[in-house]
A and B are shown apart, each in its own frame.
Chain A
Amino acid sequence: MWVDWFLALRILRDARMQTLLITAGVAAGVTVMVFLSSLMTGLQVSLLHKTLGTQAHIVVRPAEERARPLLGDAVVRRVEATAQRTRSIDGWQQLLASLDAEAEIEAVSPSATAPVFALRGNGTEAVVLKGIVPERFAGVIKMTEHMEAGEWTVADRGVVIGVGLAAKLGVAVGDRMRLQAVDGTSELFDVRGLFDVGNKAANDVWVLVSLRDAQTLLDLTGGVSSIELRVTDSFAAEALAARLRGRTGLEVESWMAANAELLTALRSQASSSLVIQVFVILAVAIGIASVLVVSVIQRSREIGILRAMGMSRARITRIFLLQGGLVGVGGSLLGSGLGAALAVTFSHAVTDASGAPLLPIVLDARLFLSSAVVATATGLLAALLPARRAAKLDPASAIRNA
């Protein structure tokens, strides 16, 4: 066995109570880290899942129409903003092909989208018509996972609507309903399926039909009003959107820009959690350092005799650093287990009416690994001062003053 390890372990074993106390201190710190991180990550993942469950990561639309003042002698006091109409993206097929080829993009879905009315009997609802290619749309928003009734198909004048709209209009799978564009053009559609995407707005207003049917109804023959994208790294969406904006000159909006407030809230939450964790680590480090400083003082006579016997200063430093590191590793193992148990218990204890966890948690290997690394590094750093103090002890006076 390595002499340094042997002595470090023996000293820790000899001072059982001190060792237990500082290991418990580290474990408490790691428990807080694991618990807070799992909760924060869970909350973040859950919120993002809910947000991105009904939203494309990036939406490409035609550039806005803008009125321009006449040039010349005329003095223009006010330029009136132009009302936006449903327009197609020029050369969308070529754009679609180039987006399909991008490695960062997971799915691309062209869509003809516009507000229309849904009619059934005396009921009329203002809805958002989305003409889609089902396989492509399901790649962007996982519709197949959200089907409540019927099938995920819009073929042969089929329509898929949300459960909210179905309830408002009193329709079920197999019923027929009329969709009427703002210019009065209308068509009858068969209800093929009902979805519940977990978002009331989408459940109440989305009406999904085939791209061709939507193009006909909206008088957008051969065109699409938007292209929706799902990317591999959702947090890289804004950077990609900026690149596409520069490349195409189109209006490109990422989910991050569309949900800026949510992102700010999540970042603030993560920052608060980080601050709490930093202070916890600091407290743990001070705890380890103070206990080891006391240990060095208590053992100065023994350190003196080890130095007199020919043990180098470097070895004495290593022995005390190892003690800090070992306490860090032990505390992180214990704390990881406790933190995970606490998080799981908390998640099971705090549930909604259906029994589902109100605060979801995420426990992954990276969290445990990072906690272990932080705790071990804290142990080593905290032991640095006592270790140096031990190594600097003058053996003659350490032995004499015992």
Chain B
Amino acid sequence: MPDPVLELRGVIKEFGEAVVTRVLHGIDLRVEQGEFVALIGPSGSGKSTLLNLVGLLDHPSAGEVWVHGERTDQLDDEALTRLRARSLGFVFQFHHLIGALSAVENVMMALAADQPRLTGEMRRRSVAALAEVGLADRADEDPRRLSGGQQQRVAIARALVRRPPLVLADEPTGNLDTRAAEEVFSLMRRFNRETGIAFMVVTHDPRIAARCDRTIELVDGRVVPQAT
């Protein structure tokens, strides 16, 4: 059986020094290659903290985090940065596109993050990624001039252009109207099916969660097993 793209073993996360607050209480979870998983839970349940750990943006207080077969909880900042560039894609609620760059340049940044120079090949792949989300004709557009749904599609192209084994999406449809939300979710689902890229989607929307392969529910920092 191939390695899972993500595995957490007994992950604990605590904040504070004088007064210690435990936010995650020994999380165990696996996301297999090609899976489309929803992470749900009420506010304050530890979803963002878990996403930061999975996204290698934070270190666990205890336990192990494995990404694409590599144990990450003891890696230094530089090694985590390299691993993020190689293995993870991010889609955020507020797309977080860089206003100083055009749509295609935003996508190129995902390819150039750990490279010294921008190349013609990077641009070609980025335009192709934009074509996959239906925005080839808007490649040189200022992203601030695009609609919310289009901006989120650029963010998806950016997350997928390197074909990472895992994409983390934090409320990707939370800021969109129903139609744009449906478009964006369908797009992610299509990529998941066509490319085998695994997705972990944080959502408050039960309809989105219901359309995922599996749901992981977090309550008070603990995983509640859910029926798929």
Contacts and interface: CB of A to CB of B under 8 A. Distances in A.
A282 interface: no
A142 interface: no
A232 B198 CA distance: 78
6 contacts: A3-B112, A301-B96, A309-B110, A312-B78, A396-B55, A402-B94
Contact of A2 (B48, B94, B96, B116): B116
B113 A400 contact: no
Contacts of A400: 48
Contacts, number: 76
A399 to B, nearest CB: 6
B96 A3 contact: no
Nearest to B114: A310
Contact of A302 (B83, B85, B86, B98): B98
Interface of B: 48, 52, 55, 57-58, 77-78, 81-86, 90, 92, 94, 96, 98-101, 105, 109-110, 112-118, 158
Interface in A359-402: 394-396, 399-400, 402
A175 B57 CA distance: 99
Contacts of A394: 57
Given A302-B96, A312-B78, 18 more contacts: A2-B116, A11-B100, A301-B96, A302-B99, A305-B90, A306-B98, A309-B84, A309-B85, A309-B158, A310-B82, A310-B83, A310-B86, A311-B114, A312-B114, A395-B57, A396-B57, A399-B92, A400-B48
Contacts of A402: 94, 96
Contacts of B77: 313
Contact of B100 (A14, A301, A312, A396): A14
**Centre residue among B81, B110, B114 by max chain A CB count within 10 A:** B81
Contacts of A168: none
A1 B117 contact: yes
Given A305-B96, A308-B55, A400-B48, A3 B118 contact: yes
Interface of A: 1-3, 6-7, 10-11, 13-15, 301-302, 304-313, 394-396, 399-400, 402
A311 B118 CA distance: 14
B100 A2 contact: no
Contact of B81 (A3, A304, A312): A312
